[in-house]
A = this chain, B = another copy of it.
Amino acid sequence: MFGTMMDNPLSITLIIEHANQIHGEKYVYSLSPDGKIHNYTYSNLYSRTMKLADAITQLGIQQGEVIGTFSSNNHQHLELCFAIPISGSVIHPLNIKLSPVQLSKIIREADDKIIFVDGMIYDKYVNLCNQIEGIYSIVFNLQNSQNELSCEYEKLLTNARDNYTTDIQDENMAMALCYTSGTNGEPKGVLYTHRSMLLHTLAVNQADVFGLTEADVVMPLVPLYHAMGWGLHYAAMFVGADLVLTDPINQHIIDLIAETKVTVAAGVPTLWKKLIPELLKRKNDVPSLQRIIVGGEPMPEDLIEIYEKELNIEIRHAWGMTEMSPTGTFSILKKKHQKLSDEEKYKIKALQGQPIPGVQLRLVDENQCILPNDGICVGEVQVKSPWTANSYFKKGLDDSLTKDGWLRTGDLATINEDGYMKIVDRSKSLIKSGGESISPMELEAALLKHPLVTDSSVVGISDEKWGERPIAVVAISDQDSDDISEILREHLSKDFPKFWIPDKFVIVEKIPKTGLGKTDKVAIRRTLDGVFTK
């Protein structure tokens, strides 16, 4: 028997309509090309967005066609995040850090019909232009000095009609195309739907997840092309929080937090590590900042301690994947943990955490048998949720999905009795030495704890005797340190068995990163090939 409830499609239209009607006076802040803070209200955002949606349909874009964006975080990008899906087409935020060759390949696969380009990074876009001839681009956010480019974006808005009404009839319509980081092979596209994005928004706005409220001022220091900026802009707008838009590379983040009174910020651990000295110095400038959402990579215990103890800022540590929209787990303390010592608390907070309501997690062994949540058994994490991908764009069903419909994450982990997951490593990156497994991730985390180490990566290289042996590539703060290898060897010996200690410590200036800011192990291997063939 079916129910008698309305069959309103779940759609992101609900978010912007709500923000406009109930929180129309709240603000969106972003940086202008002149370096000043631009601000306008949700009502302004709404009327510009509806005009933009109208303009997009007037450009002849059909339902389901893909539109690229090549942009930093700013209010125009936010407008595009709503206007494109509301017009029935699909937004495809391009990773501006990828090479023109990588990007053009992705753009061809996605079949982008138009690309909206941020004038502030037009020089980067120019390099891409030759590769993607024939694709029409529309530029916004122009500096005065770039007057040779016409700012067609504002012209589009001026000419658009005012009374656009959206008509998302099917909640399973695609609304965004996001590519994975491609750390294991080629980047693959995930097609988020209106349904999955609205559900993700409701799920992360639970009090125990992002926990955003109308009183918050939210600053996502996550580019929109990373799994749609972790959905923070949608989440903030649905509750009526103010939004502050900028990029993690902004040199004046602390000034911006002080000026706009940010209460919740979000970003990757390396950013939060980098900001510590300035934050410690300018603690009194940013009393508004209460909470930081950290994801993308594991947040080390000692970083959590500095933020919580010295800066009095709560850390909420998350884990997810582009395939999960992206939020999967959240590490916050349970009531029973309140009586623990600070050190024990930080240990728990450094775990990847519990699945958020709506997400299911399980561990399986190599034979696809389900393992117990005992904090000991290590298995592959498999996930299921209404906001998880079941296939990839134009790839169809591949072996990422189990027969019973769970997504294989490729991450190895334990889950304890309280449901807290701890990622041990990527299943494909474990180093097999003499039949035993060595986890590069654990070694990297331990290396990072040494005060001289600013970044590190551990990879396995073939070894006649042992099959594989670990090599550590390390960036250090003091290039003149003597005997750094000996120091690090001793440092690791405290925590790891002898066979885990890397055979060699290669000191580099900088660890190479992928366009998504993750360690580029392929580039590292190339460097090592150089070292070992010398």
Contact = CB atoms under 8 A, between A and B. Distances in A.
Interface of A: 1-8, 10, 14-15, 17-18, 21-23, 25, 63-65, 90, 170, 172-175, 189-193, 195-196, 199, 202-203, 205-208, 211-215, 238-240, 325, 334-335, 338, 354-355, 357-358, 360, 373, 384-393, 405, 407, 418-419
A193 B239 contact: no
A354 B18 CA distance: 10
Contacts of A388: 5-6
Given A2-B172, A205-B357, A208-B213, 18 more contacts: A1-B63, A3-B172, A3-B192, A4-B174, A5-B192, A5-B387, A5-B388, A6-B388, A7-B390, A10-B199, A21-B373, A21-B419, A23-B419, A202-B206, A207-B213, A214-B335, A215-B334, A240-B334
B202 A357 contact: yes
A239 to B, nearest CB: 6
Contacts of A215: 334-335, 338
A390 B335 contact: no
A393 B196 contact: no
B405 A22 contact: no
A389 B193 contact: no
A386 B195 contact: no
B389 A239 contact: no
B202 A207 contact: no
Contact of A5 (B18, B195, B357): B195
Nearest to A19: B357
A214 B355 CA distance: 13
Nearest to A332: B214
A395 to B, nearest CB: 9
18 contacts: A1-B64, A1-B90, A1-B173, A2-B193, A3-B191, A3-B195, A4-B189, A5-B196, A5-B386, A5-B390, A6-B384, A6-B388, A8-B385, A10-B199, A18-B355, A23-B419, A202-B202, A208-B239
A-B pairs, 5 with minimum CB distance: A3-B193, A1-B64, A22-B419, A202-B202, A3-B191
A372 to B, nearest CB: 12
A530 to B, nearest CB: 39
Given A5-B195, A22-B419, A174-B1, A10 B386 contact: yes
A195 to B, nearest CB: 7
A405 B4 contact: no
A5 to B, nearest CB: 4
Contacts of A211: 207
Q: How many copies does the complex hold?
A: 2
A212 B202 contact: no
A202 B390 CA distance: 22
A392 B4 CA distance: 6
Contacts of A2: 170, 172-174, 191, 193
Nearest to A9: B386
A192 B5 CA distance: 6
Contacts of A65: 1
B18 A357 contact: yes
B10 A191 contact: no
Contacts of A175: 3
A22 B386 contact: no
B172 A22 contact: no
- Which of A21, A173, A390 counts the most chain B CB atoms within 10 A? A21
Nearest to A420: B22
Contact of A6 (B15, B212, B405): B405
Given A205-B357, A208-B214, A5 B238 contact: no
B335 A4 contact: no
A374 to B, nearest CB: 13
Contacts of A90: 1
A382 to B, nearest CB: 12
Contacts of A386: 5-8, 10
Given A172-B3, A214-B208, A239 B393 contact: no
Nearest to A263: B335
Most buried by B among A3, A17, A65, A191: A3
Nearest to A192: B3
Contact of A4 (B203, B334, B354, B390): B390
Most buried by B among A1, A206, A215, A405: A1
A385 B190 contact: no
Nearest to A358: B14
Contacts of A4: 174, 189-191, 389-393
Nearest to A390: B6
A12 to B, nearest CB: 12
Contacts of A196: 3, 5
A389 B208 CA distance: 29
A173 B3 contact: yes
A363 B226 CA distance: 40
A387 B7 CA distance: 9
Given A2-B174, A207-B213, A357-B18, A8 B191 contact: no
